[in-house]
Amino acid sequence: MIKVYYRLSNLEAGQPKVKLDHATKYHCLQNAINVFGVDNITIIGDRLNSSTLDKVKQLKLRLIQVDNGSGSGTFRDALNIAIKENEDKEIIYLLEDDFLHLPNALLLLEEGVNKFNAYITGYDHPDKYINKELGGNPYIESEGEVTRLVKTENTHWKMTNSTVMSFATSRKRLVEDRDLLLQFSKDNITDSFGFFQTISENKGIPVLSTVPGISTHIEKQWLSPLTNWDNV
């Protein structure tokens, strides 16, 4: 079973983003509960207001409150807590509060972590289909990346060069890569691209994403393709 460490905050980082109209923080949280189960989610709450605190309590979610004021600080807290209270065999999902998941996300994320010694994501990031000169990923040409496609029992996976700091992997993998994860989250904003490039080049650890995506960031510009996320 996946242990979800859900980074929840009322703070908004950076410039305002155009997001799916229905995908409020509460909607994303309820979606995670529906997919992963209330007993499998730990909220890492950073400076939550009274309304959000009341909502978390009503939902009977486990809550650990922190005081960072930054997404990177809350990521470090989630990482350290997940490592401290789990054994190597456990599957850990470090998750931000602005994602939606399809109903099969639990099954497929577990399948990916159990099959591969890797970082697993359900987010088929659209930057992998936008040429670098148009603002896409630095490795993209001809609207795609050179990759390897793998089939497991329930889905296809593609090896990809990066993802965001919402991913699933084993607790053992987190322990082995902890120093690098902390290094690339020491500033106010995490450097996910830098981390995944370093872990691939130095240790040969890949990132794999489902194709098509089973989760998405809720910013309209960066939705996982081929799914109508307005209905999720």
Superfamily per CATH, domain 2-231: Spore Coat Polysaccharide Biosynthesis Protein SpsA; Chain A (3.90.550.10)
Q: Is the pLDDT of residue 4 over 90?
A: yes
Model confidence pTM above 0.85: yes
Q: Which two tokens stand for residue 97?
A: 């509060």
Q: What is the mean pLDDT of residues 165-184?
A: 97
Rounded to an integer, the average pLDDT of 1-17 is 85
Q: Distance between CA atoms of 124 and 30, rounded to whole angstroms?
A: 22
Q: Kind and range of the H or E element at 167?
A: strand 167-170
- Mean pLDDT over 97-110 rounds to 98
Chain position carrying tokens 């979606």: 31
Q: What is the pLDDT of residues 137-152, one digit of tens each?
A: 999 999 999 999 999 9
Question: Domain-by-domain residue ranges, the chain?
Answer: 2-231
* Cα 100 to Cα 119: distance, rounded to the nearest angstrom: 19
180 contacts: CB under 8 Å, gap ≥ 6: 195, 198, 199
- By CB atoms closer than 10 A (0-12, 13-18, 19+), residue 63 is middle
pLDDT of residue 68: 86
Residue-wise DSSP of 62-107 = EEEEE--SSHHHHHHHHHHHHHHTS-TT-EEEEEESSEEE-TTHHH
Q: Using an 8 Å Cβ cutoff, are 32 and 61 in contact?
A: no
- Residue 12: pLDDT band (50, 70, 90) is confident
Strand order across the beta sheet in which 62-66 lies: 62-66, 41-46, 2-9, 91-96, 167-170, 119-121, 207-211, 156-160, 149-151
pLDDT, one tens digit per residue, over 55-73 is 999 999 999 999 987 888 9
Report which secondary-structure segment, H or E, holds 125.
Answer: none
